[in-house]
Amino acid sequence: MRFAIIGAGAIGAYVGAALARAGSDVTLVARGPHLRAMQERGVSVLSARGDFHARPVATDDCSEIGVVDCLIIALKAHQIAAMLPAMASCMGPNTQVIAMQNGVPWWYFQEHGGPLEGTVLQTVDPGGLLAKAFDPKRVIGCAVYCSTEILEPGVIKHIEGTRFSLGHPSGEVSPELKAIAAAFVEGGLKAPIETDLRRDVWIKLLGNVCLNPISALTRATLEDMATDRLVEPLLREMMEESYAIARRLGVHLDISIDKRIDGARRVGAHKTSTLQDIEAGRALEIDCIVGAVVEIGGLLDLPVSATRHVYALTKLLDTTTQRIANDRLRARELVVGA
């Protein structure tokens, strides 16, 4: 089976290396020093489960790849639209598209069957570009329960988790889905097939919707937030708002808010991906995680005041952080030019 992984960062390179070591034909699409290291030396994975090394093909040019059986998109949500023209060269009439996306995915209301069937969330897919580009019958959602980081170019540290839950928006279990899940398993990953992946979306979102933005605003770890007497009630309020939306959409969540907060507390001094992005000066993946909840709440006429306020603050933080980063870049360019 031929795979192309668009956005082979920490997660994408880890998945690609796992698939390649089991014999799948894998091409990683990346850029910069990380790309050059993978081209020269392959991908090295360091893990308590056992270190391993693989040599998938790596490129920055999608046109070199050709049509694949499965296109894995491991980009952040706000990066996908810009890559659509390049990705088109990898897609044929039977290519399956796996969306490894945080928050509410663009396909959420496709093949949904509920009152919001076909709704395009502007916080997730402005202008509906992704909904138009990908046939929902060939889309495979993916809930990622895995933590990795790039230690250095070409070297991935696997921290915890190997589960990548997979499922079509319609709940159908197609032969293609079974074959892809089998390839994941052969690579040493867990790949349960879910007939209702939207439940996984909301279970992950319960924590991410509050922990990610508040960590960026406060520079706090999971343990800091879950044990703070002033912040913990805010986490709870935002989770309650998301719970209400999930229930209205017909999603049953069998995890309590107490258990979700306790889980964050037990993880300890871990930085969320959003906090890591702030510290690195990167644009925040906040619209699909927090903005989408606010947007859906509005569509359903449900109150989401706590989530709305945190979203507004985090959006402003993102704007000012990017402005400062751009100002510094221009200043360096002026110094070099002088």
Please identify every residue annotated as catalytic: 204
d(C-alpha 201, C-alpha 167), whole Å: 11
d(C-alpha 11, C-alpha 75), whole Å: 10
How far from each other are the two terminal CA atoms of the chain, in whole angstroms? 53
- For the stretch 315-323, contacts whose Cβ atoms lie closer than 8 Å and that sit 24 or more positions apart, written own/partner, are 315/286, 315/291, 317/216, 317/217, 317/278, 317/284, 318/283, 318/284, 318/286, 321/278, 321/281, 321/284, 322/281, 322/283
d(C-alpha 108, C-alpha 128), whole Å: 12
Amino acid at 32: G
H-state helical runs in the chain:
10-21, 32-41, 80-87, 129-133, 175-186, 197-218, 222-227, 232-248, 257-267, 273-280, 292-299, 305-337
Torsion on CA atoms 287, 290, 295, 301, rounded to nearest 10:
180
